């Protein structure tokens, strides 16, 4: 089978501020709505790809602002979560969805194993190999670092409004999430979710299970509501706003 990505396709990941000195690696699993040219837009419109089903709206801009404010390296995925979701186990639930939030994705129907593997080889594994490379580099010599994944979430799902401005997702390691929850809750104007609107304890979660848990690094995900970061300017403003709580929490997690 021919490689999925052609010479005019974007790369499967991007790295920002690689030489950042903070003891923190930032990730953005759903940073892009790009689709390889060979997949012809997955058979859906750009308007559909631009919805939350295609990417984490505002997530990359917020993560870039955090990267600058915290002086932390950032690795961002290069393709839409509808091509293959970089936070789902390849071949598992939600990896290549045939329907997402009511929208059928024609190009994802009845994929054979070789087609699914081609997507993983092109878009999933290069991103995660880069995450592992950055963690190897940052922890060389025994340096202690934390990992934070930046996501965004739609303000309404299945007819239900979501009240949280931000959410902290974590599994069984409290070192980073508990200080982060406490720091965020110092701001009385914020509604902060604890494993809301999603949970990092769900079985489909890939990134946190694949990278920081085996290395025993402090880790969690941070979700920001998409209507708050829907424009690049708003996303950058929220990234700057969240930098101080994150910095304090990272310091506490590594103490």
In a domain, residue 93? The reply is: yes
The parent domain of residue 33 ranges over 13-253
String of b and e for 174-193 (b: at least 16 CB within 10 Å)?
Answer: ebbbbbbbebbeeeeeebbb
Specify the CATH number for the domain of residue 208: 3.40.630.40
Encoding tokens for residue 158? Answer: 């299945």
3 state DSSP class of 192:
strand
H-assigned helices in the chain: 46-49, 59-70, 113-119, 125-139, 177-184, 207-210, 212-215, 232-253
How far is the C-alpha of 196 from the C-alpha of 166, rounded, in Å?
A: 8
Q: Total domain count for the chain? A: 1
> Which pLDDT belongs to residue 2?
76
In a domain, residue 104? The reply is: yes
In a domain, residue 6? The reply is: no
Q: Is-above-0.85 flag for pTM?
A: yes
Residue 116 has pLDDT above 90, yes or no: yes
In a domain, residue 103? The reply is: yes
In a domain, residue 5? The reply is: no
Per-residue pLDDT reduced to its tens digit, 201-244? 999 999 999 999 999 999 999 999 999 999 999 999 999 999 99
How far is the C-alpha of 198 from the C-alpha of 14, rounded, in Å?
A: 26
In a domain, residue 7? The reply is: no
In a domain, residue 29? The reply is: yes
Residue 1 has pLDDT above 80, yes or no: no
DSSP assignments along 63-107, one per residue? HHHHHHHHT--EEEE-S-TTT--TTB-TTSTTSS-SEETTEE-GG
Residue 197 has pLDDT above 70, yes or no: yes
Give mean pLDDT, residues 25-51: 98
């Amino acid at each position: 089978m021919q490689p999925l990505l052609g010479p005019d396709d974007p790369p499967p990941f991007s790295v920002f501020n690689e030489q950042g000195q903070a003891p923190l690696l930032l990730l953005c699993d759903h940073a892009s709505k790009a689709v390889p040219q060979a997949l012809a837009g997955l058979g859906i419109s750009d308007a559909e790809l631009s919805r939350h089903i295609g990417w984490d709206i505002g997530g990359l801009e917020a993560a870039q602002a955090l990267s600058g404010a915290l002086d932390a390296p950032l690795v961002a995925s290069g393709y839409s979560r509808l091509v293959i979701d970089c936070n789902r186990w390849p071949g598992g639930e939600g990896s290549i969805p045939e329907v997402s939030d009511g929208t059928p994705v024609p190009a994802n129907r009845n994929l054979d194993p070789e087609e699914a593997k081609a997507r993983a080889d092109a878009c999933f594994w290069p991103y995660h190999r880069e995450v592992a490379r950055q963690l190897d580099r940052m922890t060389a010599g025994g340096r202690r670092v934390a990992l934070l994944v930046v996501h965004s979430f739609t303000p309404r799902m299945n007819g239900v409004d979501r009240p949280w401005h931000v959410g902290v997702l974590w599994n069984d390691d409290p070192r980073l999430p508990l200080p982060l929850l406490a720091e965020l809750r110092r701001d009385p104007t914020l509604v902060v979710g604890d494993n809301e609107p999603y949970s990092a304890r769900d079985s489909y979660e890939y990134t946190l299970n694949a990278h920081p848990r085996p290395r025993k690094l402090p880790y969690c995900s941070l979700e920001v509501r998409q209507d708050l970061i829907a424009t690049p300017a708003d996303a950058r403003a929220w990234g700057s706003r969240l930098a101080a709580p994150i910095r304090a929490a990272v310091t506490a997690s590594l103490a």
